[in-house]
Structure 1
Amino acid sequence: MLDLSSRVAIVTGAGTGIGEAIATALSRRGCAVLVNDYGTDVAGRGGEEQSRADAAATRIRKTGGTAVACAVPVGTQESAAAIIDAAMSAFGRVDILVNNAGFGDSGSLEEVNEDRWRFGLDVHLNGPRALMHLVWPHMREAGFGRIVNVASSVSFGRAGYSNFASAKAGLIGLSRAAGLEGTGAGICVNAILPTADTRATRSGLEAAGELRIRDWFIEHFPPHQVGEAVAYLCSDQCAISGDAFIVGGGRFARMGYAVAPGFFDPQISAEAVAENFGQVSDFTDADIVFDNHGEQNSYMRFIPRP
């Protein structure tokens, strides 16, 4: 078993589901955990309920682990400082940060008003960035840090989720950039795109009357599978950084990007593009980019050279 007995972790949104599974997986390997959860419902409403974080921390302690509860919300620089201060007060250090807190933020581009748009970005992108920004000096000074950002496959695009998709896609970009910045400082940053049985998943399937699919999710996509994958990404044995992984149902797969060879014409015109659009969209012999380390995999790779 991987040894995390000298480590301290902050896991946001750790009161239930994926977050609790991650906190539990870390604890089983000796890691002390700050269980952060504000107690909102699946739509991000309500909150200020210490009971959910307390209950999850109690479950960890009952199995012999070390955990304290924190019911501070995620989304601002001030709340990020309060969360980190709570971990420092309880344990004196922070080695691991898992940005998992979130909610099912649905709504079309036309439906989502400015307040809802900003709230979604605060919880799913600005809040994780604030925590990363404030915890970074502690990790750099210690020469060790592991950050895992919980993104979503919705970042590829899904109708009715413009806000959520935008924020989670931004979180992947943030993870890849920060992963490069951590090189040489002992800080590894990665993102995961999980699939698991959660409150939000069940709520959505039940609302749609998809009870058979709900039961299939419960059987084949338990959250602990995601927790185990994240425990590896938080360990000393993990040296990869700046990448994203598909996780769930027992699968753990590195995610890459594909760039088609495309159509090239120095005298390019709209008409030429229209005539050759099949070539533009042909992914035969595409370049598969698995990471962004080095000039070979940078954006310069796809710029024609003289």
Structure 2
Amino acid sequence: MSLLRFDDRVAVITGAGRGLGRAYALLLAERGARVIVNDPGGLMSGVGGDVGPAEEVVREIRAAGGEAMACTESVATPHGGQAIIDAALDQFGRIDILIHNAGNVRYGSLKDLSQEDFDAVLDVHLRGAFHVVRPAFPRMCAAGYGRVVLTSSIGGLYGNHGVVNYAMAKAGMIGLNNVVAIEGAAEGVKSNIIVPGAVTRMAEGIDVSAYPPMGPDLVAPVVGWLAHESCPVSGEMLVSIAGRVARAFIGESRGVYRPGWTIEDVAAQQDGIFDSANPLIFGLDGHVDHIRYSCERAARGH
């Protein structure tokens, strides 16, 4: 297979000053992309700012012969999101790839989490995704081409203790991804999700001594493929952790049909309801297919 390159493509990568985002920026730039390295340089809580991380990544890219520009605006506001996309348009005249990787962490149990800490995490992860997708998407549609890569998490798929804000934000990313994929299908715009597992500063305080190699370099090629023009999929979720790459998906059991139900009927039929053998997996037309399948079962009477 020939080398997959990004010559003449412009990529905006949020949270690109460190960790996973830095790895994405360096890889795409190495393959020819011109990159907006977005990172306000704050602490993991999202507090503060430092131009250093973004500018250092830009220096690395330029030293290797690539093109890049730093942008320290925050995705947490609509103004910041617009400014990030404008940076690509002003500097390079276009936007082909948007990778939303920016994130922060504020821990707290469901009993104790403050409203401030809840909002701060949703503002960066979930609302932040919308703040950059919203101004980028019309530009991509007008150009007839675009690649969007959003970031979810096993915390969003399965939950975890003490991070309800993070879990909700990462689960919400799935809905945004589906809509971008659906609305972009006729416009040449594809959108997918990376579900990464890597040891970065977000793992601070966690004992990782027994972990296998889990560097950002193992995740970056998966994101690179999702961002490439040859990528044929849209509306998908790819897991990448410790060298394992897999597809994550939403499925339904075949279920049980009855023309009428009582509470007792539901209790009696729970084995069939929860039987996940031979599951239904709907794609981009899932909204319609879900309704169609259920209505056809009702029409058949079984």
> Do Structure 1 and Structure 2 share a fold, with TM-score over 0.5?
yes
**Which consecutive residues of structure 2, in runs of 5 or more, have no partner in the other structure?**
none
The 5-angstrom pairing of residues 199-238 of structure 1 reads 199-201=201-203, 203-205=204-206, 210-213=207-210, 216-217=211-212, 220-238=213-231
Q: How many residues align?
A: 295
* 1:44 corresponds to: 46
SS at match of 2:187: coil
The 5-angstrom pairing of residues 95-244 of structure 1 reads 95-155=96-156, 156-201=158-203, 203-205=204-206, 210-213=207-210, 216-217=211-212, 220-244=213-237
Find the aligned partners of 1:130 and 1:4 in 2 and give their Cα distance: 25
* 1:75 corresponds to: 76
Find the aligned partners of 2:246 and 2:294 in 1 and give their Cα distance: 25
Find the aligned partners of 1:144 and 1:262 in 2 and give their Cα distance: 39
**Which consecutive residues of structure 1, in runs of 5 or more, have no partner in the other structure?**
none
Change beyond 3 A, Cα 1:111–1:268 = same
Change beyond 3 A, Cα 1:176–1:211 = closer
* 2:13 corresponds to: 11
Maintained 8 Å contact 2:181/2:284: no
Find the aligned partners of 2:171 and 2:177 in 1 and give their Cα distance: 10
* 2:91 corresponds to: 90
Bigger shift: 250-259 or 295-304? 295-304
Find the aligned partners of 2:53 and 2:233 in 1 and give their Cα distance: 33
Change beyond 3 A, Cα 1:126–1:295 = closer
* 1:293 corresponds to: 285
The structural deviation recorded for 1:273 is 1.5
Find the aligned partners of 2:149 and 2:235 in 1 and give their Cα distance: 10
The structural deviation recorded for 1:154 is 0.5
Maintained 8 Å contact 2:259/2:298: no
The structural deviation recorded for 1:229 is 0.9
Give CA deviations for 1:270-306 in whole Å, capped at 9, x if unaligned.
12212222222221232234x2236774454345331
Letter in 2 for 1:102: G
Find the aligned partners of 2:99 and 2:166 in 1 and give their Cα distance: 18
* 2:56 corresponds to: 55
Superposition CA RMSD, Å: 1.7
Find the aligned partners of 1:165 and 1:297 in 2 and give their Cα distance: 27
SS at match of 1:121: helix
Give CA deviations for 1:213-268 in whole Å, capped at 9, x if unaligned.
3xx25xx2110121111111111101211111111322222222221223332221
Change beyond 3 A, Cα 1:116–1:180 = same
Bigger shift: 155-164 or 191-200? 155-164
Change beyond 3 A, Cα 1:35–1:166 = same
Bigger shift: 151-160 or 187-196? 151-160
Maintained 8 Å contact 2:17/2:54: yes
* 2:242 corresponds to: 249
TM-score, length basis structure 1: 0.91
Find the aligned partners of 1:293 and 1:146 in 2 and give their Cα distance: 20
* Aligned-pair identity (%): 36
TM-score, length basis structure 2: 0.92
The structural deviation recorded for 1:98 is 0.3
Find the aligned partners of 1:278 and 1:295 in 2 and give their Cα distance: 25
Maintained 8 Å contact 1:76/1:127: yes
Change beyond 3 A, Cα 1:240–1:277 = same
* 2:33 corresponds to: 31
Letter in 2 for 1:13: G
Find the aligned partners of 2:293 and 2:217 in 1 and give their Cα distance: 38
Letter in 1 for 2:199: D
Change beyond 3 A, Cα 1:185–1:63 = same
Give CA deviations for 1:172-200 in whole Å, capped at 9, x if unaligned.
11101110110111101111111111111
Change beyond 3 A, Cα 1:211–1:245 = closer
